Structure 1
Amino acid sequence: MTHYVMLLDSPVPRGGLGVFDFKSGQSREVRPPQGNLYEALAHCADRNMDWESYLKDLPSTPYPLTPAAVKYRPPLKPDNNLLVQISEITLCTAKTEQAWYYKGNGRLLKTDGDPLQVPYHSQSISSEPCIVCLYWVDPFGALRFIGFTLGNDIHDHVLHSRDAISSTHAHLRTCAIAPALIVGELQADLAINVQIERDGQPLTASHHRMSLHRWQSLRRYSEEFLEKHEQFLEPGLVHYVFHSLSHRTANVPLQHGDWLSIDCPELELAMSNQIVEEELVSLVPLPARRAADRDGIDRPLPVPKKF
């Protein structure tokens, strides 16, 4: 199997990092004195230390990496939301179709199980499965690629298709990433499954693939773009860059209560989020998802439909 390392960032008061090595099949818990991954990176940079070696040398204990055991935070997220920049970069064949969209700061970033709240002024709700790349700007202003994970992004497709100005507004919506960070570069093509569920029943299912060639193009373009602009290189900033896996050919309108699930069997990553419309929260309360359903993201998804 390709060698990947997975990190999970658990919150205060527990603190610490869950680490899983795909090559050895071993999981362990590391508790850096700094508490979380962001603070550990800053600590290592201040002392000119390699952060991966630093974490590897810390005392560790065997630890079952089960999301049910603890509520994880979005990996690498600092406590200060203003140190987070969330954006989306699309890369199409034609150079003129490359686009960058600002999504917001850390306040909009959620993780597995968190609701994705949609503002009352939204005209429509659509979702996009994403690969999310995580970058950290070190104390010297250098952009450092840390790793990647899965993401659920929502946008307003009616606004997006209206005009250029409206398109930028369409992306100012909440989003979520999986609680596990895959350290380093993608090493092989990935298969990603996506499912939308409504009223306890599958609504749509689709299958996506991230090729190494596309990954390399996205990474190269994203880094070149971020490094061109000084405001993106403020020391301490964390960039979450969403890269859509879809081609926007089949926007499925979503509604209050729908569940979005995404999983990648090769990386043993999975996450699920529920759509919550702001004006319907008090009018149409949503029941808690049954335990059997909540675990459904660990089961094989239905055969994808051809759109």
Structure 2
Amino acid sequence: MRLVQFKMPDGSRQVGRVSKDGDHLHPLKATSTVLELAEAAIARGVSIATLVEERTTAEKIDYDQLLREGRVLAPVDHAEPARFLVTGTGLTHTGSAAARNQMHVLTHGEGAAESDSLKIFRMGLEGGKPGAGKIGIQPEWFFKGVGTCVVPPGAPLPMPAFAKAGAEEAEIVGLYLNGPDGHPYRIGYALGNEYSDHVTEGENYLYLAHSKLRSCSIGPELLIGDLPNEVRGHSRITRNGAVIWEQEFLSGEAHMSHSIANLEHYHFRYPMHRRPGDLHAYFFGAAVMSYASGVQTASGDEYEIQAPTFGKPLRNRMEKVSDEGLVTVTQL
């Protein structure tokens, strides 16, 4: 079961259930946002799938037309964007560990001691899947931004003038809502482009936090229910209509060094991440990335991330934005 948030021509919002053919949406009765749907499910003590079954209509809307017209929204959002926290983890897939270590080699040479990146990746392999009811090893974690950093499917991904680069990271994203008592509930999963500045990160590992403070995109579809143990997909970059890089990725717990439950524990163990009513998007890490293949992206490049599990692909074009210059602070 997959859902899409979208706008009608008059600007009103709706949530649709993806049809069996994948090309149409069945609008849900009395449902304008996924957040409303999740809140109703928590209040009634039922699954989101139960509510979707009750609310699905027979009406059909052309899904491809919505995408062409830029009316598809991110799978979840919040009326107060500051209450939508966007975070993530890395070094959960073999590809991400190899890419991170390559940055270390480029900086320090082939004979350098094992990098902290490989150390934490090995720690995950040894203790990241502790089994039900147990706590495993702590993963890497980073802050990406708040709801204002999430751009809809099809919208441009801005590259700041101060950025050294901008490149895709094809990932699965967990989407969550904290209930009225602060207990976290998983709404579902979506594809995401975590989009980072790997050149800045490669200059010094302590710049990782800066390299992650960028926009990202999620969607277009929200997967309700369990995530398959294996998710296969591809990540692709096109420039002027020609593919300049493409690679298959493997994700899901079968290809991760941490269980999703372990990642969730270490995120939500902090009381500040369990504020009632807050939304969370948590990127689970990338398996492949063009930067690790030596690709230098440019303004105008289009990123495409696709996996059959998640329906339609996520596409965004990178767009360089003007230089804001020196940012100053005024004394009050």
Instruction: Go from structure 1 to structure 2 and tell me whether the alpha carbon gap of 1:182 and 1:44 turns closer, same or farther (over 3 Å shift).
Output: closer
Larger Rg: 2
Q: 1:235 to 1:202 in 2, by over 3 A?
A: same
Structure 1 residue aligned with 2:4: 8
Alignment of 1:3-152 (within 5 A): 5-11=1-7, 13-20=11-18, 28-32=26-30, 35-46=32-43, 48=45, 50-58=47-55, 60-64=57-61, 66-69=63-66, 71-92=71-92, 93-95=121-123, 98-152=139-193
Q: What is the rounded CA distance, in whole Å, between the counterparts of 1:145 and 1:264 in structure 2? A: 20
User: CA offsets, 1:103-126, max 9 Å, x none?
Assistant: 100101012210000111111222
Higher relative strand content: 1
* Cα distance change of structure 1 residues 24 and 192 upon mapping to structure 2, 3 Å threshold: closer
TM-score by length of 1: 0.80
- After the TM superposition, which residues 192-203 of structure 1 pair with which residues of structure 2 at under 5 Å, given as runs? 192-203=233-244
Measure how far apart 1:65 and its partner are.
Answer: 5.2
Over 3 Å counting, the alpha-carbon distance change for 1:132 and 1:103 in structure 2 is same
- The answer as to whether partners of 1:149 and 1:181 remain within 8 angstroms in 2 is yes
The Cα offsets for residues 91-146 of structure 1, whole Å up to 9 and x where unpaired, read as 44422793111010010101221000011111122221111111111111111112
The code of the aligned residue for 2:188 comes to G
Q: Quick one: distance in 2 between partners of 1:49 and 1:184?
A: 13
Displacement of 1:11 after TM fit?
Answer: 3.5
Of 139-148 and 87-96, more deviation after overlay is shown by 87-96
**Higher mean C-alpha deviation, range 132-141 or range 261-270:** 261-270
Distance 1:140 1:168 in 2: 31
Unaligned runs of 5+ in 1: 281-307
How far off its partner does 1:39 sit? 1.9
Q: In structure 2, what is the Cα distance between the partners aligned to 1:59 and 1:163?
A: 51
Is the counterpart of residue 271 in structure 1 residue 314 in structure 2?
Answer: yes
Q: How does 1:157-306 map to 2 (within 5 A)?
A: 157-214=198-255, 217-247=258-288, 249-279=292-322
Q: Distance in 2 between matches of 1:160 and 1:240?
A: 22
Q: Which has the higher contact order (CA 8 A, sep 6+)?
A: 2
Contact map agreement 2:139 2:266 (CA 8 A) in 1? no
Cα distance 1:107–1:24, how it changes in 2: closer, same or farther (>3 A)?
closer
Alignment partner, residue 297 of structure 1: none
| Offset at residue 162 of structure 1 (A) | 2.6
1:49 deviates by 5.1
After TM superposition, give the deviation of residue 62 of structure 1 in Å.
Answer: 2.9
Identity, in percent, stands at 19
Q: Is the Cα contact below 8 Å between 1:32 and 1:40 reproduced in 2?
A: no
* Structure with the largest fraction of helix: 2
* CA shift for structure 1 position 258: 0.7
When normalised by structure 2's length, the TM-score is 0.75
- Secondary structure of 2:185's partner? strand
| Residue identity matched to 1:161 | G
Shift of 1:237: 1.2
Contact 2:253–2:260 (8 Å) recurs in 1? no
Give per-residue Cα distances to partners, 1:177-201, cap 9 Å, x unaligned: 1221011221242211111111221
- Give the letter for the 1:29 counterpart: P
Deviation at 1:251, TM superposition (A): 4.9
